[in-house]
Amino acid sequence: MSQFDVTIIGSGPGGYVSAIRCAQLGFKTAIIEKYASLGGTCLNVGCIPSKALLASSHHYEELQHFADHGIEVSGDVKINLEKMIARKQAVVDQTSGGVKYLMDKNKITVFEGLGSFEDATHVKVSKKDGSSEVIESKYIIIATGSKPSNLPFIKLDKERVITSTEALKLPEVPKHLVIIGGGVIGIELGQVYLRLGAQVSVVEYMDRIVPGMDSSLSKELTKVLKKQGMKFYVSHKVQSVERNGDVVTVKAENTKGEIISLEGDYSLVSVGRRPYTDGLNADKAGVKITDRGMVEVNNHLQTNVSNIYAIGDVIRGAMLAHKAEEEGTMVAEILAGQKPHIDYNLIPGVVYTWPEVAAVGKTEEQLKEEGVTYKSGSFPFKALGRARAGGDTDGFVKILADAKTDEVLGVHMIGARCADLIAEAVTAMEFRASAEDISRMSHAHPTFAEAIKEAALAATDNRALHV
């Protein structure tokens, strides 16, 4: 029987990063993955492939505006969806291959098969050929991730009524894509196909899209996407989804009790994700699972069984790849006797549409609910020289700071390059910077980052310079 110091079940961003850190710290480490490709949902059917399609479709969209820049393209410009998806898969394969390289480099043993508990120190690996083996491990980390959620009355045929997984490899550009759920995944994939020529309608139960973010971001993103042609039906509760041949009919009820009917050739069900513990047999190890299907952990990410830990989407908190990575590193360092810490308030969230949306810290709604007195400063991208030069003038940066101490409590932005710009806000808040601290930092000109400085000036004494 193979024996290890640490065994990780699941090779997503949380799992493989945890494995690398464990190996760096001197642990004999194993990782178990049920699929042939390492990297979990993020690398295979999530973050990476969706960003590849967003990038390809963005290039096509930019082409429509080349004339504004004095670039005249003659002849027909055509979309080759098959080639676009093939490129996406090549990016996925290269990235997953990179993870395999890292496993080899760090001398981590990889087991391909379904990992399930035999008891608290033994894990069975069930392989596709029907064989199995049991490995012994002093510590075990559960990193089994999540799967797309569904509504109980919707039958997913994965052909016309699909999840995000199928949306990444459609055989054609939809004529009308009806998206159920206005969260990050639905909006991102919706913009991909909107750019490629589809009519896109979004049905959202809440009163706004990306409802977990600051309402000002939701409002601005809605305005921009409407301008691009996306249609929204917020505060609508889906009643039924029926397929008849190549037609999918989605019926939803608004707040007045009226029923609307949307007919499309595809319907993407994007109503969130659920923790994935199928086949884990956690009960054999005595690991407690909550009523919501999550693995229960303490503040050290330790389950009720002392040698078993859990990280990422399978536990509480935001289902984000970078959150899982931080947790994977944290557990490895705890096992090594170190004292790591994660500030969950400083885990940024990003929507990779264009314009990009990013945020960290508290929203205005949260500050009001908590009774915190705060001040707000905003700066629009249209007042930014770099934004005008590039033609990316949609959006703004908003900084929320404590009214008494001036400490930055939240940063919310929508615009070009915000997915990268948010790192400045995270850094500032990690060191508990004030709005004035940021405002006194020199920012290169002309850059998009200047919007952060200007928003900080606006929050400090309402003294933004360029608006």
| Catalytic sites, residue numbers | 445
| CB contact set of 123 (below 8 Å; sequence gap of 6+) | 7, 9, 32, 115, 116, 117, 134, 135, 137, 140
| CB contact set of 366 (below 8 Å; sequence gap of 6+) | 410
Structure tokens belonging to residue 389? 């030069």
Distance of CA 108 to the CA centre of its chain: 27
| CB contact set of 461 (below 8 Å; sequence gap of 6+) | none
Strands in 168-236 per DSSP E: 176-180, 199-203, 231-233
Structure tokens belonging to residue 141? 């980390």
Amino acid at 364: E
Q: Quickly tell me which residue has 């601005």 as its tokens.
A: 220
Integer CA distances (angstroms), 358 to 124, 213, 351, 390, 428, in order: 41, 9, 6, 20, 15
| Residue 295: DSSP 8-state | B
272 exposure class (CB count in 10 Å sphere: 0-12, 13-18, 19+): middle
Neighbours of 334 (CB within 10 A): 16
Rounded Cα distance, 255 and 204, in Å: 12
Q: SS3 for 445?
A: coil
Sign of CA dihedral 298, 299, 301, 307: negative
Closest CA to 47 of 447, 350, 446, 412: 350
Q: SS3 for 451?
A: helix
Q: Which helix (H) or strand (E) holds 86?
A: helix 81-105
Rounded Cα distance, 38 and 24, in Å: 19
Strands in 106-195 per DSSP E: 109-112, 114-119, 122-126, 132-142, 146-148, 161-162, 176-180
Q: Pseudo-torsion of CA 23, 338, 275, 6, nearest 10°?
A: 30
